[in-house]
Structure 1
Amino acid sequence: MRITRVPGLLYGGDYNPEQWPSEVWAEDARLMAEAGVNMITLGVFSWARLEPEPGKYDLDWLGHIMDLLWEHGVHVDLATATASPPAWFVRKHPEALPVDKHGIRLEFGSRQHYCPSSPLFRAATVALAEQMALRFKDHPALAMWHISNEYGDHITECFCEVSAADFRRWLKERYGDLDALNHAWGTDFWSQRYTSFEQIEPPRLAPGPGNPTQSLDWRRFSSDALLACYQAEKDVLDRLSPGVPVTTNFMSMMKDLDYWAWAEREDIVSDDAYPDPTDPNAHVTAAMNYDLMRSLGKGRPWLLLEQAPSAVSWREVNVPKTPEQYRLWSLQTVARGADGVMHFQWRASRAGAEKFHSAMLPHGGTAARGWRRTVEMGADLLALAPVAGSRSEARVAIMHDWDSWWAAEFDQEQHPSHLVRVRDLIRAWYGVLWAANIACDFVPADADLSGYRAVLAPNLYLTTAATAASLSSYVDGGGTLVAGFFSGIVDEHDHVHDGPHPGALRDLLGLVADEFWPLPAGETVGLDAGGEAFTGTVWRDWLDPTTAEAVATYTTGELAGRPAITRNAHGEGSAWYLSTLPDARGLTAILGRALREAGVTPVGTAPEGVELCRRGEHLFVLNHTAASVEVEVPGRARDLLTGEEAEGRVTVAPSGVRCLVPLP
């Protein structure tokens, strides 16, 4: 299934022609065609040009550029330009500027300077989106719509009175009446009981610890408030421009927005990815994010909507990518399900906050090394065109729930440990799968698990009764569950489940966690698994197994001799529990055993540091090492990138990529 009507893989980047004199536009279009660019993101930050005065629109210049691009065979991902309101808007409506939790109203001069709940802001964005749709819905260059930009990058919440009123409305819809809200929030604690919805405010700064359920609901509301901004514009585009897909760009595994809810509203899941060239494991974290993007779209191809061609402009030290990193990491996105490689941005800016951010066309123009890199990437993506539309399959799922993430971390000053960081736990577990070349999906807590041999839940602090029942049914039916520590503790209201921990998962895991024994920062604990020694960090539980068997025990500290990792036979399947975070070697051993028992097999075998991904019939081999490697491949195959044929084995250069299609 193709994500747009543009044939092959998409290639291009953000284009900001308003930053350049009109005589540059024709040169840009010509160079885009020369580089093999087939789509450009246009208009992302153009609101001030498109609506220079309230209600007065100037779209002709944008239409001229779209005509010019189309003449050169370049399609357009057209943005609604609503990411940052112009100066006239905020001076006319200063009450639409956002307010932080300290009560400070943030000023104009950056971007995303708006209150998500402001009806004035939403009305203005809908009006602009309507004008854009009416003018360009039938333009031949239009391939997709792009609403706003990187929601939540700067503003994830607003504490103004308008937001407070919207929060109260949201709470009335969620709970119906005050009795239900008071129960959910546990307001009999510290005399916080409400007798009117009008008494409720956002969780601003308070003398001491706040109400954790109020904070959880505030996070839910804030994600929904931004989503309502997106949906208001999408409704316009769907009505006036039916059949043209709509997206907004995500920011990888971002904590603040519930991307499961957001992805349901997107026609194309798209992501902005900026791996750090100085991080030796950046490609593993990137792979995790890309698998999440594919999973958010329920397996459909997704789109890399932004990446840096070289250096970014916002790290403390902005180290550039090497040409080899750029090519390898770009093609990694395709291997992991992307049907396009887009960039920020096309032409490097001469002014503004991102003037030192790299671009497809650098400040040095076509004489710069970066331009050769741009042309070569266009050729690579053209060669990989047959991959477009194909899917990947996985038999392992990682369960990731935003409600649980928020609840686990947002009131940590009242939790047993501040060191429980959900994304880090997921990354550690995912790294084992990556190293073993085991394909995986991410799934929400309410997912259908029947297609998976194994489900990993590195942390599921918030576990509803429905999720617990689903996991129990899955294991009963023959599935393998591996759960991490501090899971099954609270319900959807952040109330501790009845009985001893781990509450909702106690019977499934076959144990009682009598007491939490978290480890201080930097401390480790010894573990033994059948004679194999390794260490654990972050957490420990005092476990009393009921029906579970010990797989590993603690060998040092106060819990020496007690179970640390357990396995419980339940129905036709098994449920494992890790009461600590083992080191890399230990986690590999434990997860490896559980996955083998579940009948999980890797995509293939390869030397350490070599990544294997399968999309449809295509096998990608990505060498993240500095040495040439040989990899076994099944039967005869042809490399789409070079045209070379191989049988049984293939050699991959340092930082090299192969895309192999089987031959008869």
Structure 2
Amino acid sequence: MSSSENAPRRWIRRAGEARLEFGADYNPEQWPRAIWDDDVRAMREAGVTIVSLAIFSWARLQPAEGAYDFAWLDDAMDLLHAGGIAVDLATATASPPPWLTTKHPEILPVNAEGSTVWPGARQHWRPTSPVFREHALRLVRALATRYRDHPALVAWHVNNELGCHNIYDFSDDAARAFRAWLEARYQSMDRLNEAWGTAFWSQQYSDWEQILPPRLAASHPNPTQQLDFKRFSSDALKEHLRAEKAVLREITPDVPVTTNFMVMGEQKPMNYADWAAEVDFVSNDHYVVPGPQARDELSFSANLTGMLAGGRPWFLMEHSTSAVNWQPVNVAKRPGELARDSLTHVAYGADAVCFFQWRQSRAGAEKYHSAMLPHAGTDSALFRGVAELGKRLRDLAPVAGTPRTPAPVGIVFDWESWWVAEQDSHPTDRLRYRQEALDWYTALLDQGIRADVVPAGGDLERYPMLIAPILHVVPAALAGRLTRYAENGGHLVTTYFSGIVDENDHVWLGGYPGALRDLLGIRVEEFAPLLDGDSVALDNGATGTLWTERVDVADSGVEVLARYRDGKQAAITRRPVGTGSASYVSTRLGAAGIAPVLPSLLRPAGVASELPPELRGRVELAIRGEHRFLINRTDEPIDLPGGAGVLDARSVLVM
């Protein structure tokens, strides 16, 4: 356990009674000074209590090396404080100014093909560049020194969306840092060669200087080299977070520090389970990606963020009031979705609801991204919806600070399994780790079952039932932990391509599913992935896609819950283990296909829905302390039983 994990956690530095914070990124530097007063008046009208400030302001704060201009930020801080609005002040290091990249082009990232990533957008910096680090920390120190006693300052916002565009850098700086990271991890060349399996393809190293990042190669790079580079890259950004935090801690020890994660969609390069201990409170940015599971994905991400926060309050730093600007087609939100999306995050532990951004930009790449104050101004349906949400959050002040009530089911989420399961040279490149986990989450919601999305290193033993989809990377210690879980009465469900490799991406020998083979009581000799468009029928009426296996039952106690219709081969199995059980699903069923088998998996664990039968599948239930959140999953109003009223379409009721 790191010292960061032992450190006390703090919420924003705020006097008075607990409340749900409400606000946005605020970019006054984009606007004439005369507009700022109008902004604060409109913020007060909307119920804004906090803004994130100076996120992309480095060039304005430091127009030249050694020259600072804080006058405009002083003015903005004073104005916001006078208006009763707190400030989460950014360190402004996310986007280096042109003078810095012109003088020091060596801070610019390099991609796998060896091409420089040029300025002109944002995050054009190397996480391992000592030159960038020096200039960034100098700015952080100047900001912290100037504003440490400002009454508006309630939290520090390190950088912004660390790793969104610069997670993988293949430069010479990165190569040197990667070698140092490897030497610290393995201590000797022999141990590295063993871990990387360098006997294959004549890759054996005899000196640390021979090692490079996995740059563009003639064929597939070494798999463990790729895995270690992913680990290193996540660690390199975490080290930058630590470096900025150390300066802030030195100068403002009483001001909490956060940075905004991106727990959403396919944002997988940053191991947030590893990062969470580094911040005083977890913050997250989330944007809805359209699709049939869009609502459930939002819930899944909010759920996981809350678990990363360890049950403590967390900060929704960014989401959108309506359309974004970066999707192929950017669709506006429908009536009710602004509030429903926001309150779903609150249901899973958010004590702050903020947006990108306050005032919609006139220029720049995000001018068509929605904001709290749109181009149409305050006389608009969107602004009225924002103000209504502000009032709703004020009314929900008693929710603030209340813990989440644990669910009966835990869905295990493991970043390293996500990384490795989707690498190249595998049985199929169609596998999508997060989608499989989301399908199980949707299937549980469809039956009215609450589930927590739990990092693999979290408290797994508290759940009567654990679902571990595509738990691909299983070190011996984790295999032992899962075995003890089942022996002590827990009910484990895992799926295809689980238990296959150890922490070095080496296959567990003796047949699949490797490290979990004995626990599950089955043996698979060969994978049988499916071609696009192919499927297999199960005798329970479900259809499998993507993957199948010839599952041999190796333990007489194993019960076959479903078979493949062709050949009568086992498809889904369960083995009693101690006072618990271990079950295996050998194909991708999708949410609809999971439904027929889910009751038989839930029953031994004693898990049942807490919702009345008529609400199951239509309503999602989340619980924080004494507060029950009923989230309408449909586009139709729902009559609540017992004369409790109507749950409007796309709405949330807090009881």
If the length of structure 2 is used for normalisation, what is the TM-score? 0.95
The 1:351/1:585 distance shift into structure 2, 3 A limit, reads closer
The 1:462/1:280 distance shift into structure 2, 3 A limit, reads closer
| Structure 1: distance between partners of 2:300 and 2:512 | 30
TM superposition shift of 1:54:
1.3
DSSP-derived class of the 1:76 partner: strand
Aligned residue among 326, 330, 340 for 1:328: 340
Residue 537 (1) aligns with residue 545 (2): yes
The 1:272/1:579 distance shift into structure 2, 3 A limit, reads same
TM superposition shift of 1:334:
1.1
Give RMSD over aligned pairs. Answer: 1.5
What does 1:375-390 align with in structure 2 at a 5 Å threshold? Answer: 375-390=387-402
Larger deviation, residues 328-337 vs 39-48: 328-337
Residue 612 (1) aligns with residue 628 (2): no
TM superposition shift of 1:280:
4.2
TM superposition shift of 1:461:
1.0
Tell whether the 8 Å contact from 1:607 to 1:631 is kept in structure 2 after alignment.
no
Tell whether the 8 Å contact from 1:549 to 1:567 is kept in structure 2 after alignment.
yes
| Structure 1: distance between partners of 2:90 and 2:518 | 51
What does 1:288-303 align with in structure 2 at a 5 Å threshold? Answer: 288-303=300-315
The 1:601/1:131 distance shift into structure 2, 3 A limit, reads farther
Tell whether the 8 Å contact from 2:632 to 2:650 is kept in structure 1 after alignment.
yes
| Structure 2: distance between partners of 1:17 and 1:583 | 46
DSSP-derived class of the 1:540 partner: strand
Partner of 2:561: 551
Aligned residue among 601, 612, 636 for 1:594: 601
| Structure 2: distance between partners of 1:131 and 1:596 | 60
Partner of 2:52: 41
What does 1:13-52 align with in structure 2 at a 5 Å threshold? Answer: 13-52=24-63
TM superposition shift of 1:2:
8.0
Tell whether the 8 Å contact from 1:603 to 1:613 is kept in structure 2 after alignment.
no
| Structure 1: distance between partners of 2:635 and 2:178 | 53
TM superposition shift of 1:109:
0.8
Partner of 2:77: 66
Tell whether the 8 Å contact from 1:478 to 1:573 is kept in structure 2 after alignment.
yes
Partner of 2:137: 126
TM superposition shift of 1:293:
0.2
The 1:34/1:523 distance shift into structure 2, 3 A limit, reads same
Aligned residue among 444, 452, 463 for 1:452: 463
Letter of the structure 2 residue corresponding to residue 389 of structure 1: G
TM superposition shift of 1:498:
2.6
Residue 579 (1) aligns with residue 586 (2): yes
Tell whether the 8 Å contact from 2:10 to 2:281 is kept in structure 1 after alignment.
no
What does 1:627-642 align with in structure 2 at a 5 Å threshold? Answer: 627-632=636-641
Partner of 1:492: 503
Partner of 2:576: 569
The 1:187/1:2 distance shift into structure 2, 3 A limit, reads closer
Residue 259 (1) aligns with residue 266 (2): no
Larger deviation, residues 591-600 vs 99-108: 591-600
Partner of 2:514: 503
Residue 655 (1) aligns with residue 640 (2): no
| Structure 1: distance between partners of 2:141 and 2:10 | 26
| Structure 2: distance between partners of 1:648 and 1:126 | 59
DSSP-derived class of the 1:481 partner: strand
TM superposition shift of 1:628:
2.0
Partner of 2:491: 480
Letter of the structure 2 residue corresponding to residue 290 of structure 1: A
Letter of the structure 2 residue corresponding to residue 623 of structure 1: N
Partner of 1:429: 440
Tell whether the 8 Å contact from 1:348 to 1:361 is kept in structure 2 after alignment.
yes
Partner of 2:259: 248
TM superposition shift of 1:544:
1.1
Tell whether the 8 Å contact from 1:500 to 1:512 is kept in structure 2 after alignment.
yes
Letter of the structure 1 residue corresponding to residue 630 of structure 2: V
| Structure 2: distance between partners of 1:627 and 1:406 | 39
TM superposition shift of 1:375:
1.2
Tell whether the 8 Å contact from 1:3 to 1:339 is kept in structure 2 after alignment.
no
Superimposed CA distance per residue, residues 597-651 of structure 1 (whole angstroms, 9 cap, x where no aligned partner)? 101233423153322211110111122323221224xxxxxxxxxxxxxx66332
| Structure 2: distance between partners of 1:624 and 1:586 | 19
Superimposed CA distance per residue, residues 547-604 of structure 1 (whole angstroms, 9 cap, x where no aligned partner)? 2221111113xxx211111001111110000001224333123233212210123342
What does 1:149-548 align with in structure 2 at a 5 Å threshold? Answer: 149-253=160-264, 254-276=267-289, 278-392=290-404, 393-411=406-424, 414-528=425-539, 532-547=540-555, 548=558
Tell whether the 8 Å contact from 1:569 to 1:575 is kept in structure 2 after alignment.
yes
TM superposition shift of 1:377:
1.2
Letter of the structure 2 residue corresponding to residue 651 of structure 1: V
Tell whether the 8 Å contact from 1:446 to 1:467 is kept in structure 2 after alignment.
no
| Structure 1: distance between partners of 2:413 and 2:591 | 21
DSSP-derived class of the 1:49 partner: helix
| Structure 1: distance between partners of 2:328 and 2:552 | 48
TM superposition shift of 1:3:
3.0
TM superposition shift of 1:66:
0.9
The 1:3/1:440 distance shift into structure 2, 3 A limit, reads farther
TM superposition shift of 1:439:
2.3
| Structure 2: distance between partners of 1:8 and 1:447 | 28
Larger deviation, residues 194-203 vs 24-33: 24-33
Tell whether the 8 Å contact from 2:447 to 2:616 is kept in structure 1 after alignment.
no
Letter of the structure 2 residue corresponding to residue 424 of structure 1: Q
TM superposition shift of 1:69:
0.5
Superimposed CA distance per residue, residues 508-546 of structure 1 (whole angstroms, 9 cap, x where no aligned partner)? 001111211111122110112xxx322111111111111
DSSP-derived class of the 1:367 partner: coil
Superimposed CA distance per residue, residues 355-383 of structure 1 (whole angstroms, 9 cap, x where no aligned partner)? 11111111121122222112111111111
Tell whether the 8 Å contact from 1:607 to 1:629 is kept in structure 2 after alignment.
no
The 1:244/1:439 distance shift into structure 2, 3 A limit, reads farther
Tell whether the 8 Å contact from 1:80 to 1:145 is kept in structure 2 after alignment.
yes
Tell whether the 8 Å contact from 1:75 to 1:142 is kept in structure 2 after alignment.
yes
Tell whether the 8 Å contact from 2:24 to 2:356 is kept in structure 1 after alignment.
yes
The 1:445/1:619 distance shift into structure 2, 3 A limit, reads closer
| Structure 1: distance between partners of 2:420 and 2:617 | 36
Superimposed CA distance per residue, residues 307-329 of structure 1 (whole angstroms, 9 cap, x where no aligned partner)? 11111111111111123111211
Letter of the structure 1 residue corresponding to residue 179 of structure 2: R
| Structure 2: distance between partners of 1:483 and 1:182 | 31
| Structure 1: distance between partners of 2:251 and 2:595 | 52
Larger deviation, residues 461-470 vs 614-623: 614-623
DSSP-derived class of the 1:203 partner: coil
* Identical aligned residues as a percent: 48
TM superposition shift of 1:441:
2.1
Larger deviation, residues 602-611 vs 194-203: 602-611
The 1:8/1:483 distance shift into structure 2, 3 A limit, reads same
Gaps of 5+ in 1: 633-646
